[in-house]
A and B are shown apart, each in its own frame.
Chain A
Amino acid sequence: MRILVVDDSRVARNIVKNMLKSMYHVEDGFVEASNGEEAWSALQASSVDLVLLDWNMALLNGIDLLRRLRREDRFKALPVIMVTSEAAKYNVIEAVKAGANDYLIKPLTEKNLYEKVRKYFVQEGL
């Protein structure tokens, strides 16, 4: 399992990574990106099994990266969980329409993160 964590906040990326490391053995580790363009480049360079994606970022935001991913055949089935402070229902609906598999609202709790990512680890047999 290799996880791409996309967030413009280093603190936020560390929170996600530390929570996941305390729950699972993330065998193949993490790839990090601080905006959508970096994430797009990272996805060209290496294969990942799950993307945790913030919404508000410079250069290319999370929702636009998600739309770009879903236009590409090779990324259509890539699991993407939005991890964002955007808590309004219309944001959740927009993300789901754009192709998000799941939606987590910051601040994260270990329980919420565990429940959302569990099925992807189960699919990987981990």
Chain B
Amino acid sequence: MAVRYIEPFIAATVAVFHELFQVTAEVQKPYLVKPGDPHNWDVSAIIGLAGDARGAVVLSFTDSFAYELTASLADTSASPPPDLVTDTIGEVVNIVAGNAKKGLEQYRLVISLPSIVKGKNHVIAWPTKGIPIIGVPFKTSIEPFHLSVGLENIVTYE
């Protein structure tokens, strides 16, 4: 995966946090993720990518930040139920993946329904093995979160 393919995902993430949550997401230094490395995230929302390129996009959060994001969209001040938190972060990664397609129009991509993985040091099952996975930490005024993208080129029209 060429590094430039991460850019539409970064731009979409920044835009979604701004539009949906009025939160400024500051991009930190991207790095190469080693699958299986320990991490401190409690929950990840995953969208698979298929079509001319295969891969996945993953957003990872602490529980407290996932709850805070959900509460900011909820009608009530009560703590949001867990299913609503799952719904919210699934919708966020769905919007990020769908919006990123605009910057990757050289590929015809199909996005999957979101899935959620929870638990301390949970493991992401990447759909393709051996592809480089780019990790992008984000900083916000509330808490940090993390974007990971792995995209294997199958077909190119360039």
Q: Is the CB of A9 within 8 A of B87?
A: yes
What is the CA–CA distance of A85 and B112 in the complex, to the nearest angstrom? 12
Count: A-B pairs, CB below 8 Å? 66
What is the CA–CA distance of A81 and B153 in the complex, to the nearest angstrom? 33
Query: Can you list 15 contacts pairing A with B, beta carbon distance less than 8 Å?
Result: A9-B90, A9-B94, A10-B84, A14-B75, A56-B113, A85-B94, A85-B95, A85-B98, A87-B98, A87-B102, A88-B102, A88-B105, A88-B109, A90-B105, A107-B16
Q: Is the CB of A56 within 8 A of B91?
A: no
Pick from B16, B74, B91, B100: contact of A9, CB below 8 A. Answer: B91
A9: nearest chain-B partner, CB-CB:
B91
- Determine whether B19 belongs to the interface, using a CB cutoff of 8 Å to chain A: yes
Q: Is the CB of A11 within 8 A of B70?
A: yes
Residues of the B chain whose Cβ atoms lie less than 8 Å from the Cβ of A18: 75
What is the CA–CA distance of A57 and B100 in the complex, to the nearest angstrom? 19
Q: Is the CB of B99 within 8 A of A11?
A: no
Q: What is the minimal beta-carbon distance from B143 to any residue of chain A, in angstroms?
A: 19
Which of B70, B88, B102 has the most CB atoms of chain A within a 10 A radius of its CB? B102
Known: A86-B101, A87-B101, A90-B105. A107 touches B95 (CB 8 A): yes
A90: nearest chain-B partner, CB-CB:
B108
B12: nearest chain-A partner, CB-CB:
A87
Chain B contact-residue range equals 20 to 34
Interface members, chain B 73-111 (any A CB < 8 Å): 73-75, 84, 87-88, 90-91, 94-102, 104-105, 108-109, 111
Residues of the A chain whose Cβ atoms lie less than 8 Å from the Cβ of B75: 14, 18
- Determine whether B125 belongs to the interface, using a CB cutoff of 8 Å to chain A: no
Q: What is the minimal beta-carbon distance from B17 to any residue of chain A, in angstroms?
A: 9
Which of A9, A11, A89, A109 has the most CB atoms of chain B within a 10 A radius of its CB? A11
What is the CA–CA distance of A22 and B96 in the complex, to the nearest angstrom? 26
What is the CA–CA distance of A107 and B94 in the complex, to the nearest angstrom? 10
Q: What is the minimal beta-carbon distance from A62 to any residue of chain B, in angstroms?
A: 12
Q: Is the CB of B91 within 8 A of A12?
A: yes
Q: Is the CB of B101 within 8 A of A8?
A: no
Residues of the A chain whose Cβ atoms lie less than 8 Å from the Cβ of B15: 107
Q: Is the CB of B19 within 8 A of A107?
A: yes
Residues of the B chain whose Cβ atoms lie less than 8 Å from the Cβ of A15: 73
Residues of the B chain whose Cβ atoms lie less than 8 Å from the Cβ of A8: 113
B112: nearest chain-A partner, CB-CB:
A56
- Determine whether A50 belongs to the interface, using a CB cutoff of 8 Å to chain B: no
Q: Is the CB of B87 within 8 A of A91?
A: no
Q: What is the minimal beta-carbon distance from A77 to any residue of chain B, in angstroms?
A: 28
Pick from A9, A10, A56, A105: contact of B99, CB below 8 A. Answer: A105
